[in-house]
Structure 1
């Protein structure tokens, strides 16, 4: 993260394209049985004299970009919090969960809409280092990796560490709706609308994969739809971790989207587990409901019943994604080439 202001007690801004209406980062996982595999603890603070690990006054980060202009002042916690109020007008609550709260806000310098996510520091279990060596919550490190101007992922504009809270400022579209409410308002989506949104989600997942990031909580509530442009955006990396080739033995995410190998055996591989959650997502798009009843223990011989109104290609794709054996599920590349994604109708 080149260009980071040297002193610890400053905003840290992340590079991104000129600010357009983007997504609020809604609150993360319903439950995390355990956090990401690596790292398991916060790296040791590099500042000498701290009374305890992580004892800071008002640490923050910024790189030159579309966020508020860099401020070279050293900001202790009180001044940093006051500076936040000077730069943003905080509005209504957008979401609240076990990991914090998200508020709509307006950047006072130009009136741009943003989302401000506030996470209590004592709920941040996993820390890592940014490229410049700065210790930061893992969610911020992951966002730094994927916030490269790609339109299908929420962009982190800046962040601030206070004694009791971590503050993240993210993009937010002026007119937006998460996919869960988008579907609910319509009952279900036509295959044409679902195909376009699903393709955008696949592109976002592919981008994260190329950055070495596993989201782990793909669901309608974590996908934002810009109602003005139709752009879908993957948000909330609070359950994310690094992508690895070996099996994960800890789960973080929403239980009803966890794959059967986790439920039955206590392990899962990142890519097949993602395909399983994408299958549930597609089912919710075109059917308007989750394919499995809440609390249902999916059996190995389960039969997935789908509406006859769905094309055979759409039904086939959903069933392929929701195959019980993870090795039999398609890859992300397979999904892009699937006949339904190409709008090809087989004889």
Structure 2
């Protein structure tokens, strides 16, 4: 499979995050289940070829990656699903088993309003629950794009949408909205042609991309520190529940802005999975956040990849740029870190963006880093 699409190196070197509005693609991840093999001597020509690909070519690659993802992910979760279901989750699933229903039933409970964004495999709208006017986000996913995994309920094996399962696991029960790092899944509906997910929508809020953009294209170090500490704590929380998000990026983080201090919330578990022991041979995240070990060896671990993605995100929030703009840069270049940042912050960034995954700190040790204390 071809390497994930990236912009030419000069594009990201000359455009800051606040100027990349045209590149913004909320939730659209490059889902590839085989490693990119790019010889050094072919890198320059390959970058030029990638920059000339047409939009239709990109779409076909995403569809091909989606098919591989559905096959590989279903096989993996069939092996491990039984070890991840707690009694509380099993009881919840028994009351929330997906069933075919009419669009009228969905519309009787929720009012769908304007369009919020377009993801790689679905569209998201805002709306509210009619009984109490609770703000909600409503995600529509075509059924042929839904990844399902076998779950044992009441002694029977049933196919259950993986994203639904992960959201119930990390977001708590529908009545617990606002209490967890991840947004809560309130309802899901399986219709004839699509799966509908209804999630809490914190209000007022904006995603981290817009938050950074409204801050002038980058954050001050003290602002970034507040958000990064929350994000590290959030990742520890969901990893503690046996789930890997897999696609930490600006567009998948909401910032609640209704209080004195901003609060981060995690959304979009479409690239998520259950945590695996050892190395993973599948990666479904976004190209700009792909760790170097994936390109070098075709495998990675969820824990060290999460730390890498935190480093990429922090670098972008502080500078307005991605640290690397090509596969070769990810593999071999050192990130250029601004000298005006504190020494603790520079050390934090370098440790997260270490090329060797064994040299990266754990999430728990990051929380104890002097920069976050």
> Is the structural similarity TM-score above 0.5?
yes
Distance 1:228-1:76 versus aligned 2 partners, 3 A rule: same
Number of equivalenced pairs: 290
What whole-Å deviation, never above 9, does each CA across 1:292-345 have from its counterpart, x for those lacking one? Answer: 12x342265522211122111101100000000000000001100001001xxx
1:106-185 counterparts in 2 under 5 A?
Answer: 106-129=128-151, 134-148=158-172, 149=176, 150-185=179-214
Encode CA deviations 1:35-54: one digit per residue, 9 max, x unaligned: 275433997xxxxxxxxxxx
* Structure 2 CA distance for partners of 1:290 and 1:131, relative to 1, 3 Å: farther
CA distance in 1, matches of 2:243, 2:153: 15
Q: Does 1:31 align with 2:30?
A: yes
Change (3 A) 1:76 1:121: closer
The structure whose residues are more often helix, as a share, is 2
Structure 1 equivalent of residue 64 of structure 2: none
After TM superposition, the structure 1 = structure 2 runs for residues 39-54 of structure 1, keeping only pairs within 5 Å, are 39-40=74-75
Q: Which residue of 1 aligns with 2:227?
A: 197
SS of match in other structure, 1:168:
strand
Question: Is the Cα–Cα contact under 8 Å of residues 101 and 117 in structure 1 kept in the other structure?
Answer: yes
For the structure 1 residues 192 and 40, does the alpha-carbon distance in structure 2 shift closer, same or farther, using more than 3 Å as the test?
A: same
CA distance in 2, matches of 1:245, 1:62: 26
Partner of residue 93, structure 1:
115
Q: CA RMSD in A?
A: 2.6
Deviations 1:135-173 (A, max 9, x none): 321111111111224421111111111121111110102
Match for 1:234 among 263, 266, 291? Answer: 266
Q: What's the CA shift for 1:62?
A: 10
Change (3 A) 1:184 1:83: same
Which aligned pairs between 1:259-274 and structure 2 lie closer than 5 A?
259-274=291-306
**For structure 2, which runs of at least 5 residues remain unmatched after alignment?**
1-24, 34-68, 79-89
Tell me the equivalent position of 1:313.
Answer: 344
Q: Name the structure 1 match of 2:21.
A: none
Q: Counterpart of 1:19?
A: none
- Please list every run of 5 or more consecutive structure 1 residues that lacks an aligned counterpart in the other structure: 1-25, 44-60, 65-69, 343-347
Q: Is the 8 A contact 1:156 1:170 kept in 2?
A: yes
Q: Note if 1:83 corresponds to 2:105.
A: yes
Partner of 2:333: 302
In the superposition, relative to structure 1, how do residues 90 and 196 fare at CA in structure 2: closer, same or farther (>3 Å)? Answer: same
The question of whether the paired residues in 2 share the 8 Å contact of 1:40 and 1:126 is answered with no
Give the alignment partner of residue 327 of structure 1, picking from 352, 358, 364.
358
TM-score (norm 1): 0.77
Which deviates more, 99-108 or 301-310?
301-310
Q: Where in structure 1 do 4 or more consecutive aligned residues deviate above 6 Å? A: none
Q: 1:257 aligns with which of 289, 305, 312?
A: 289
2:316 to 269, 278, 284: 284
